[in-house]
Amino acid sequence: METVFWGFLIVGLSAVLAFAGFLVARRLVSFDLREAHNSNTAVMFGALYVLYGLIVGFSAYFVSYQYDTAQKTAQGEAASVEEIHRLAEGFPETKRREVQDLAESYARLVVDEGWPMMREGRISARAGAAADELRRSVLAFESRTERDDALYSQALTLVADLDEGRALRLLEVREGIPSLLWVVLIVGGVVTVGFTYLLGVQTERLHVVMILAYTLVLVLILYAIRALDYPFDGLAQVGPDAFEAALSRMESYGGR
């Protein structure tokens, strides 16, 4: 809801600024002058529009891909810890209870502490310690039969998957569009909107509608890019849903 509110506010403010800019440009550059150079202005605007559109398109693709990857990373990590919990059913009683308790503890820490801290761009040391403890517990398992060997091999694979998923998720906390590219996006947007003021449109009302429509679409796209940027602490955040679902199943699994 907060994201929608800020979206409306930013779009509305941008429309007001775009209209104010048009009023200033109308005073500084006469219609006759704009009309006389309309063909040259249109060619220049077209070139800028294409170049800027490529940059915006690349940025939109980057953040959408990054957001989708972050979702899959979180889901994969949650699936790994749940599979470790299920696999532990085949361990001896003492080791089973230890591994399952540690798996639940890790998932709980990620949900209760890890995710809120990621929204602030920080990392939970306690969740990291819980992951290390779970890994050590699995590595300490002593196999005595061929069946134990098979379980141990699967558990090692799952622990490796869990570590990889956690490392990727924490890396993605800090990944986003570089500040320099944001400067290019914003300055480029201002310049392209400014060029629309120089077009020699016969009907002033139509000219205003064109400017506002272009500004509206541009700002909405930039806002969507900003919302998806930094998937774990941005405006449209990847939530801990996968971990919450996995934790719920682990806690109810086997009547625990």
As a whole number of angstroms, the distance between CA 46 and CA 42 comes to 6
User: Which pTM does this prediction carry?
Assistant: 0.82
Domain that holds residue 97: 74-177+238-256
Q: In this structure, is residue 216 part of a structural domain?
A: no
Structure tokens belonging to residue 195: 């060029």
* 114 is a domain residue: yes
Q: Using CA atoms, how far apart are residues 253 and 256, in angstroms rounded to an integer?
A: 6
Contact 196, 35 (CB under 8 A): no
- Count Cα atoms within 13 angstroms, Cβ side, for 150: 4
Supply the DSSP symbol for 231. Answer: T
Q: What's the structural domain count of the chain?
A: 1
122 in a structural domain: yes
Cβ neighbours for 126, distance < 8 A, ≥ 6 positions apart: 109, 113
Residue 148: half-sphere exposure toward Cβ, Cα within 13 Å? 12
Spell out the per-residue pLDDT of the chain, length 256, in tens. Answer: 566 777 788 888 999 999 999 899 888 888 888 888 888 888 888 899 899 999 999 999 999 999 999 999 999 999 999 999 999 998 888 888 999 999 999 999 999 999 999 988 889 999 999 999 999 999 988 877 778 788 889 999 999 999 999 999 999 888 889 999 999 999 999 999 998 998 888 888 999 999 999 999 999 999 999 989 988 887 788 999 999 999 999 998 754 5
